Amino acid sequence: MRRDTVIIGDNRFVLAQGHDIEAVKAATVAALRANGDLVDLVVLGNREVSVLVSPGLAVVFTSEVIGTDAEDSRDTGDLHAPFASLSDYEYM
């Protein structure tokens, strides 16, 4: 299994399992070429986040292969079935 992360400015977004990182990259490049636009992400927890991407903003994509035992059966990318991830509790 792969864990894909997008860092936009100071914000880190872990994508939902199976979310197409190549589509996110393409949408980000298109937003930059258009001098700014919203990019929609489906993130861990089955939630959608819209991020304004504009020229001059640092965007970093990371991917890592993690073991199949790290897969979360709740993390399907289904926006109708959100759940709280462990990272949600880090800021409480």
pLDDT at 92: 38
Return the structure tokens found at 1.
Answer: 């299994």
Taking 60 as the threshold, does the pLDDT of residue 89 lie above it? no
Residue 26 belongs to some domain of the structure: yes
Domain contains 82: no
Residue 38 within any structural domain of the chain: yes
* pLDDT for the residue numbered 91: 42
Supply the range of the domain harboring residue 59. 2-66
Question: Quick check: is 6 in a domain?
Answer: yes
Q: Report the Cα 51 to chain-centroid distance in Å.
A: 10
Three-state secondary structure call for residue 31: helix
49 HSE (CA, 13 A, CB side): 20
Counting the structural domains of the chain, the total is 1
- Is residue 7 situated within a structural domain? yes
Any domain includes 37: yes
Q: Which residue type, as a one-letter code, is found at position 38?
A: L
Looking at the domain assignment, is residue 73 inside a domain? no
Q: Is the pTM of this model over 0.75?
A: no
Three-class secondary structure of residue 58 per DSSP: coil
Q: Please report the pLDDT score of residue 19 as a whole number.
A: 86
pLDDT (tens digit per residue) in 25-74: 999 999 999 999 999 999 988 889 999 999 999 999 999 887 666 666 77
Select from 59, 85, 63 the least CA-distant residue to 72: 85
